[in-house]
Structure 1
Amino acid sequence: TLGLIAGLAKPQAGRVTLFDAPVEGVDRRVGFVFQQDAVFPWRSVLHNVMAGPLFRGVGKADAEAQARDWIVRVGLKGFENHHPHQLSGGMRKRVALAQTFINNPQVLLMDEPFSALDVQTRELMQEELLQLWAQARSAVLFVTHDLDEAILLADRVAVLTTRPARVKSVHAIDLPRPRDVATLRYDERFIAIARRISDDLREEVLRARAGH
């Protein structure tokens, strides 16, 4: 689904529209954060983050200034000259976020970006994403199999059916922002929403097991 929105694949039927127009290729207004780190292993943190602006024709001095600013924003000041193999998984994910946000995407597509991280690092990255989103206000489409993560981050959660995937239901997440990832999951409102969506998911799992 994200590949169709990003213009990386074409639909077999129907069409995908974005910005009130059919998607016919890669759009520079769309950013993508993958499950696997899409960083250049031979480049330093600074040069990884600079890559997007340089590709878009920004001068080297301006690209470096922007990159250094975003490196500070994602908490990597002091690691500008490190290479990906010298960083932890969470730090590489911060580089990926800086690489994406530096291009000021209007739409951000995220494909299970934190699934490979340990629980503590994952929570930190969720907080980081919420803070970056509060600054950029991009529209975000976030794919995850983690129900808590979906509720913590989203304004709306869409539950998909089994293949062929269709939207089964959409749940409004009426939790106030800013959100504290560390404590929100213990809020009674969070628990009620999680129970409601979990029941919806359970119906789909049972239907899939029954072969429907």
Structure 2
Amino acid sequence: MSEDPVIELRGASKRFRSGSGGVHTAVRDLTMTVARGEFVAVVGPTGCGKSTTLSLVSGLEPPSDGEALVAGRPVDGIPDGIGYMFQNDAVLPWRSVLDNVAAGPRYRGEAKAAAREKARDWVARVGLGGFESYYPHQLSGGMRKRVALAQTLVNEPSILLMDEPFSALDVQTRALMQDELLRLWSGSNAAVIFVTHDLEEAIALADRVLVMTAGPATVKASFDVPLARPRDVEEIRLTAEFLEIYREIWESLKEEVEETRARGAGRVA
């Protein structure tokens, strides 16, 4: 892992016009860095602005104040080398597995044969060899997520942004996809920001966990995860080291979750 940050947010804030005509501040004075090859998980209360953080890094939204930088340059549009995996997969229902995965290289100008060959390799890497000609409606939810992961990684991104990509999966499939992600990311030197509501998932995957405050979000605390790699996410959850880290981070996160709940109860009252 390189010490030089490839992602930087410097005092970044983001405000949106609300439906009532007012102004909603999603994130405020947000400062964070992610190094090349570093896997950072972001946790925080529901609605605090975690996804907005990804939007600032990806260039989908400009900061209202402060700066967003990728590879030392201000973000102005979508930077080169960004891979973005959303909670809802973006597979195209009228395309086969192979053609879904080949779409990215084709959009980037690769010849059809070269794009399909690269896609075939990634389909095999995510464990879908033999399913190249299947269509999304013929696949399980976990298999669709594998297609989405191949779609993202086939372009060999230097930055991987993931917004709760496995949250809709059942527990067993989710664990398999977490292991698959770690296997495919290992050695890529890609910087990862992984947004999740699941603290166990964050610790099992990441080198570092950032806890966000109740909205408008800023970084409350950063916790290193000194668990050895490679990791088996199911086995590592059972270790004393994992439980110790979990308790430490949860003490910080719990305060923000309770604050969000209290605000909600106040509005209802």
Query: TM-score band (shorter)?
Result: over 0.9
C-alpha spacing 1:118/1:210, structure 2 compared with 1 (3 Å): closer
C-alpha spacing 1:40/1:28, structure 2 compared with 1 (3 Å): farther
Query: 2:58 aligned with 1:58, yes or no?
Result: no
In structure 2, the residue corresponding to 1:14 is in which secondary structure? strand
Q: What amino acid is the match of 2:157?
A: P
1:143 corresponds in structure 2 to 195
1:193 corresponds in structure 2 to 245
Q: What amino acid is the match of 1:175?
A: L
Q: TM-score, normalised by structure 1?
A: 0.97
Instruction: For 1:66-105, list aligned pairs within 5 A.
Output: 66-105=118-157
Q: Kindly, what percent of the aligned residue pairs are identical?
A: 59
Question: Are the equivalent residues in 1 in contact too, given 2:212–2:219 (CA < 8 A)?
Answer: yes
Query: 2:99 aligned with 1:47, yes or no?
Result: yes
Distance 2:167 2:258 in 1: 24
Distance 1:130 1:202 in 2: 27
Query: 2:83 aligned with 1:31, yes or no?
Result: yes
Count of residue pairs the alignment pairs up: 212
Q: Give ranges in structure 2 of 5+ residues lacking alignment.
A: 1-52, 264-269
1:106 corresponds in structure 2 to 158
Report which of the two has the higher share of strand: 2
Q: Give ranges in structure 1 of 5+ residues lacking alignment.
A: none
In structure 1, the residue corresponding to 2:66 is in which secondary structure? coil
Q: What amino acid is the match of 2:165?
A: P
In structure 2, the residue corresponding to 1:71 is in which secondary structure? helix
RMSD: 1.3
Q: Shift of the alpha carbon at 1:210?
A: 5.0
Question: Are the equivalent residues in 1 in contact too, given 2:56–2:63 (CA < 8 A)?
Answer: yes
Deviations 1:16-48 (A, max 9, x none): 111101000012301000000111111000000
In structure 1, the residue corresponding to 2:181 is in which secondary structure? helix
Distance 1:135 1:95 in 2: 21
Query: 2:225 aligned with 1:173, yes or no?
Result: yes
C-alpha spacing 1:64/1:209, structure 2 compared with 1 (3 Å): closer
In structure 2, the residue corresponding to 1:16 is in which secondary structure? strand
Which structure has more relative contact order (CA 8 Å, sep 6+)? It is 2
C-alpha spacing 1:94/1:148, structure 2 compared with 1 (3 Å): same
Instruction: For 1:123-162, list aligned pairs within 5 A.
Output: 123-162=175-214
Q: TM-score, normalised by structure 2?
A: 0.77
